[in-house]
Structure 1
């Protein structure tokens, strides 16, 4: 795929998102056929198909065999069946992502972190506390621990990088290929409350995640805490496949 084709399907997806958000395609409505969309956007059906697939992944539209795509939601949600960065998810919803590093320190891996990162106990790691924003509102506090092999590249990034994932790809070619997520609820501690502008003890959605390269090499492990109402996660399952499993706390 050429860079121009890639940009074109992203542009069409953005236009369709705006049309859904503006009410031109309300919940329950059907999108035009691929042929109609291709004509309207002066694009190939393959390009349109890619654009619509992005909306499917975000939960904006549903897929029914032999039928047109039906609008399910006006707000993109983050699906755990795909691995996308916070900034990518924000852009998909027409939001502006921001971020700043609060602290970044070299440290040694604790026992649980060493296991997740597959490094010896007390191996060097980079520990980063990062605040993420949506449209300048604080919504996420990330406590991320990076393995030593990638930590220098992370440490060299500007502290206000919009997307660490994208910058690491641009600078080093690193691709985050796999992720494991554990979701629960926690009460906001002192640091959480201060940076997310909440009362101490407020309920937070916590996602503990570990991501690896395509070869299975751990890159980072993180404790991410979202302010109430800031994000919706979706899991789509069926009798054939189920990306979500239950486990005891």
Structure 2
């Protein structure tokens, strides 16, 4: 069930993205928001905290919150799937499995997934789209214990994360990401519709359950100009955020 502060946060997001609260404008005060929604100021602060974490608003000591952006970015301190991030940013995600096969884990895959070398894994090559445009090619290796559930998903499954939660109760709780760049290979060039050798942004990630059990490890390659990863740092935190390229 959606909590009250989440409903208020969503209402404010809509007001920002619809232009009712343009970039640079000030939000109503906490007291005004509390009266409008019939809640306590504490509930309002929870809603504002969500928008602060997404980079949509900013705060200054003793002043009202200001609108900074019309689209939320994804902070890597909050684990979201590609589809969840796309929807939150006002875009339409899509995807299709290009290849899927079972095999035995390599030494590197076994170490990342906490398996024994030679244990069974499922390898999936999946193309992701944003508003109909190919932007991301995922090479994901799933641990054998979740392979069957992944194989049962439709090839055009929009969000594997949400589908596995619904079908198996699986929660992706923690993720580790490593970013670098590399040249597009033959498969990358064909699927992402770029020239072979074009620079791609690569994110290598390993995702685990809340108990720390690895579910998947993936090599994700983004087409040039598709997305931007933004670092917003301060003396308190250094979150890494993903936003569409403008």
Please give the range of the TM-score, normalised by the shorter of the 2 chains: 0.7 to 0.9
Q: Is the CA contact (8 Å cut-off) linking 1:77 and 1:232 kept in structure 2?
A: no
**Cα distance 1:213–1:38, how it changes in 2: closer, same or farther (>3 A)?**
same
* Partners of 1:80 and 1:234 within 8 A in 2: no
- Show CA shifts across 1:7-57 (max 9, x none): x655544443343334433333222223323444x3534554444333222
Q: 1:247 matched to which residue of 2?
A: none
Q: Aligned pair 1:59/2:55, yes or no?
A: yes
Mapped contact 1:117–1:221 kept (Cα < 8 A): yes
Aligned length: 239
- In structure 1, distance between residues paired with 2:64 and 2:196: 47
Match of 1:99 among 95, 98, 118: 95
Q: TM-score, normalised by structure 1?
A: 0.86
Instruction: Name the TM-score, length of structure 2 as normaliser.
Output: 0.87
Task: Tell me if structure 1 keeps the 8 A contact 2:103–2:123.
Answer: yes
C-alpha distance after superposition, 1:135-177 (max 9, x if no partner):
2211111110001111111111111111110111111111111
Gap change, CA 1:240 and 1:94, over 3 Å in 2: closer
Match of 2:78 among 79, 82, 89: 82
* Alpha-carbon spacing, 1:50–1:167, altered in 2? closer, same or farther (3 Å): farther
Name the CA shift for 1:50/1:155 in 2 (closer, same or farther; >3 Å). farther
- Quick one: which of 171, 174, 177 aligns to 1:175? 171
1:161/1:35 CA distance change after superposition, 3 Å: farther
Structure 1 residue 129: Cα displacement? 0.6
Contact 1:14 1:92 in 2 (8 A): no
Instruction: Name stretches of at least 5 consecutive residues in structure 1 with no aligned partner.
Output: 245-249
Out of 136, 141, 147, the residue aligned to residue 151 of structure 1 is 147
Query: What's the RMSD between the two structures over aligned residues?
Result: 2.2
- Partner of 1:232, secondary structure, is strand
Query: Would the aligned equivalents of 1:79 and 1:233 in 2 still touch at CA under 8 Å?
Result: no
Helix, strand or coil: the match of 1:53? helix
